[in-house]
Amino acid sequence: MTLKSKVTPVLILALFAFAWTSCGNDDDNTSDGKTNLELQLSYTVNGEAYEQDAVYNIGGVNTSFNVANFYISNIRIMNEDSEMAIFEDLNLLATPENTTFELGEIDIDHYHMIRFNIGVQAEENNQSEIDFTSRPASDPLAMQTPAMHWNWNAGYRFLRVDGLVDTDGDGTPSDILEIHIGTDNFLTEAAVMLQKDAEDNDQNIIELEFDIANLFTDIDLTTENITHTGDYPDLAIKIKDNIPTAFTKK
């Protein structure tokens, strides 16, 4: 009994010290509020899942697509107080086969809105030949197949949509569709309301839908089906104006 009465206070102090140390370690190891953020895109046409070479009716015109690629840059995530996390150094190349992107760490608890540009920022779009040709193959701004760059001094194709359209009304898409949008003046901002609380884990995901059909709102594909920006600028402007409407929260 005497031994027990002497040891018990020591054990209590030891346990208290251990608990205090453990709490301190927990504080050292707890998250600093940051989480990894991922962007996921879903390609659709008129709300239907996109399939290469499938025939879709867009504005009364049967249309198919075999390329639907675009660049995303200057991504900004805003909370409800308009505070922003900016991923300004990211250039993402979206294709129907490449729709998931790791953006990086973020410490915003509520994703109120995402803002981003379709296209490449002027600094990267206006570069020297060596700047372009020296990029590693893993760089989205390196040479691509199909090409997303006209040449080193003309800059990038910000948006490239290729396919076929039915211009004669026989129901079969057989005439060329080529929509190639680029140059600094055509860098286009899109914004999507998210109203999404960050989840308390190491990975958060923002899901957006990209509906190709919305690019062609108020466009007659039987006569307006080719632009490389400079050759048919009126159509290029119509596409540019429609780009923000192509993106919605999934």
pLDDT in tens, the chain (250 residues): 333 334 444 433 444 444 434 444 443 333 466 899 999 999 999 999 999 999 999 999 999 999 999 999 999 999 999 899 999 899 999 999 999 999 999 999 999 999 999 999 999 999 888 989 999 999 999 999 999 999 877 899 999 999 999 999 999 999 999 999 999 999 999 999 999 999 888 889 999 999 999 999 999 999 999 999 999 999 999 999 999 999 999 9
CA distance 100 to 205: 10
Q: Quick one: which of 172, 91, 105 has its CA closest to 139?
A: 91
Q: Provide the β-strand partners of residue 71.
A: 93
Q: Where are the domains of the chain?
A: 1-30, 35-249
Q: What is the pTM of this model?
A: 0.86
Residue 79 CB burial class (10 angstroms; 0-12, 13-18, ≥19)? middle
Q: Is 46 helix (H, G, I), strand (E, B) or coil?
A: coil
